[in-house]
Structure 1
């Protein structure tokens, strides 16, 4: 009916609510996209620091690059899992690319890439650093654990990193799964 005309007979004008709803899967899609974007921010910030650490080492060892700042930090050499984790920007790029047109297949690639280049390297690092953590916990003074600036043990920094990174990756995978479910076509019996 016209908004200026006479109201339809048999209605008081409050029956519009059933026609003015956004479908639940569209609401979920918008909500999960927003949440994922917020998880990508800290992931990217951590990634920048890892790129600086690993990149500076690559420049020093392969190209003879010298920098007083990185020399003063006295960082230990990078572990192999760190190189792999540096590629964890790939799931972010894939997920953001899938958001524009709800590309389910690309979101699935992002989901599995999150595990392969995010969680898996962290788990390898977690297991690889465990003996070093035990050695440090048993003898803090006499331990040969590499340190940050000669003071703070790197193994503690790594375990803080693992705690944060695994939560970011785990929640990202959780929300990617639910976003994929919101995008999936409805199965009719």
Structure 2
């Protein structure tokens, strides 16, 4: 124990204001979201690799044997949303509200709208399969029937 104190002076020490604690917590959450966005991007890139290699006129037999379906336009647009993550990370680092607004707009346009489009695009097939259990007219990939 320090001489000259009885140990009760801790109540007078400085504390971090609540808004700064909340800000740090939200920045940490956003970093996790951006990290998972990168993971999803690499998964999508693996799906798009067949089409990308075809466009570059590169033939890889192992990838061609997978018979990956041709990608839709929303998948490429969603992949462009990864560029917005750099804005988000810069906004976190510099505490810039305008950069964060641009990040949110970019994620909405390039990330959320294409996913909503995909949801609407595939919903009739999912509904048909869920209600009938029949796979006729449903887009399937690598189906194994035992």
Matches within 5 A, 1:27-66: 27-60=21-54, 62-66=55-59
| Cα pair 2:34 2:85 within 8 Å, conserved | yes
Q: Is the 8 A contact 2:50 2:68 kept in 1?
A: no
Matched, 1:147 2:143: no
Q: 2:110 aligns with which of 113, 117, 121?
A: 117
Q: Which has the higher contact order (CA 8 A, sep 6+)?
A: 1
Structure 2 unmatched ranges of 5 or more: none
Deviations 1:89-131 (A, max 9, x none): 1232111111112111101111111211111110011001112
Q: Determine the C-alpha separation between the residues in 1 that align with 2:23 and 2:62.
A: 44
CA distance, structure 2, for counterparts of residue 28 and residue 40 of structure 1: 18
Corresponding residue for residue 79 of structure 1? 72
CA RMSD of aligned residues (A): 2.4
Report the 3-state secondary structure (helix = DSSP H, G, I; strand = E; otherwise coil) of the residue aligned with 1:100: helix
Q: Structure 1: 5+ residue runs without aligned partners?
A: 153-189
Which structure 2 residues correspond to residues 162-177 of structure 1 after superposition, within 5 A?
Answer: none
* From 84, 90, 95, the counterpart of 1:91: 84
Count of matched residue positions in the alignment of Structure 1 and Structure 2: 144
